[in-house]
Amino acid sequence: MGTLTPPELPDHLPRNRVDEDAYAVCQRLTEAGFTTYLVGGCVRDILLERHPKDFDVGTLATPQEVRKLFRNCRIIGRRFKLAHVVFGAKIIEVATFRGTVDLDSEDDGDPLIRSANNFGTPEEDAIRRDFTINALFYDPVHRQIFDHVGGYKDLLSRTLRTIGPAEVRFREDPVRILRAVKFASRLGFDLADETRQAMTDVATDIQKCSVPRVTEEIYRLAESGHARGAFELMYELNILPILLPEISEHIDADRDDYLRFLGYLDDLRAAHGALPRDFVLAALYYPLALRVLAAQFVEAGPGWGRVVEDWFHPIGVRMHIAVKHRHRLRALVNLVGRFMSPTKRLRRHRLGHHDQRALPQALSLLRLHHRTYGGVAEAYEEWREFAERHRITWTPVSAPHGMSDTEENHGNRRFRSRRRGGRQRRR
């Protein structure tokens, strides 16, 4: 533990891997006399030779002192005040190092707020973080890594480990269990034995957390591009029956197909770079919806949407799913039912405006269906040609294994269909 200095400093941490604006913030704070580091996930990702999603800064300067140094700065937050240094559309978040707190203090204020705003040293801040690999600090000005919790060793061994007793840390905030799933699946790390056992033991405590917060984490797992690994891990640790009992029961009955479906969803995410959340929700529950429709002997057609909407309603309410996302689930299943309908072939090509806007997403869902279950290639090609004929355009992407280029070239990054030349007249 302590400071890793050259020659221990890895040689794959060049200056050009650090965001220029983040470096400038660190440099100005350092020159002003404040100890300042890059902190958290950006340090981890640089060491793993990954591209950091964003750069966060930790410093001994208070938010007010940060604001005095940067004209392009605003202070946000109540429980824990943060300074946001703004560079156009980019925000560099600057947080004052947090310290330990005595919750037995006789202060009459809110203990949560008192805890959050208790500033401290870099060492104290590192100990308060969740996982060792997220507690590495990097001084880009002096090119030094600071490791107070053994995170660098875990990074080299590709191990995810909590800081301190795992059960205690997860009971403090059970949502950390989902964060552990996210890091393990995204980075391909193994869970330390104590961490793995505690995740299973404390899983029921997730029910005590805010439902919207938990649902947000589920969305992030599903849209991460590593959904298959994340859901498989949650299933193995008995977390999934608590979070998503319907999906857990479906995996009990049809594990291989469902995980394969999520794997193809990950392929789609890799091809497009991002997926809309309403589509991600539809993809998560589409295999379950097929089972419900089969159990009720519902023939393929526009009636699929109503049946699935009725079935999903209590799930959506329980999970606080946005109504617009539930409506899109119905619309997409409705369209897929029309795609697969064996009757009224000509009439089913008359789509309303909203259906045409949803068409690229529905075609993507049909493609996932084909790759997992097969048997709908003809329907896909027919509707793809319909979309081309009506100039509902998209940006081509490379075709994943198992489908032709013509089958794959149907979606743009945001799945937004566009009609050239404005709206067509109704005939």
* CA geometry: angle 310, 314, 319, nearest 5 deg: 130
Rounded CA separation 38/22 (Å): 8
Bridge partners for 140 per DSSP: none
User: Which candidate in 19, 45, 56, 125 is catalytic?
Assistant: 56
Whether the CB-CB separation of 81 and 75 falls below 8 Å is answered with: yes
Nearest CA among 285, 284, 248, 250 for reference residue 265: 284
d(CA 362, CA 355): 9
Does residue 130 have an active-site annotation?
yes
| Cα distances (angstroms) measured from residue 212 to each of 226, 318, 322 | 21, 10, 10
| Catalytic entry in 54, 139, 267, 355 | 54
Residue 321 backbone class (left: φ over 0; alpha: ψ -120 to 50; beta: rest): beta
Neighbours of 96 (CB within 10 A): 24
56 is a catalytic site residue: yes
Q: How many CB atoms lie within 10 A of CB 269?
A: 19
Query: How many C-beta atoms lie closer than 10 Å to residue 232's C-beta?
Result: 19
Q: Which amino acid is at 85?
A: V
The single residue of 19, 45, 125, 130 carrying the catalytic annotation is: 130
Gap between the Cα atoms of 279 and 281, Å rounded: 5
Task: Dump strand ranges (E) for 148-211.
Answer: 159-160, 190-191
H helix or E strand, kind and range, residue 229: helix 227-236
Q: CB within 8 A of 231, min separation 6: which ones?
A: 221, 222, 240, 247, 251, 259, 262
- Cβ neighbours for 247, distance < 8 A, ≥ 6 positions apart: 231, 240, 258, 284, 285, 288
Helices (H) and strands (E) in the chain, counts: 19, 10
Integer Cα distance of 196 and 190 in angstroms: 9
Tell me 427's DSSP state.
Answer: -
Give the active site residues. 54, 56, 130
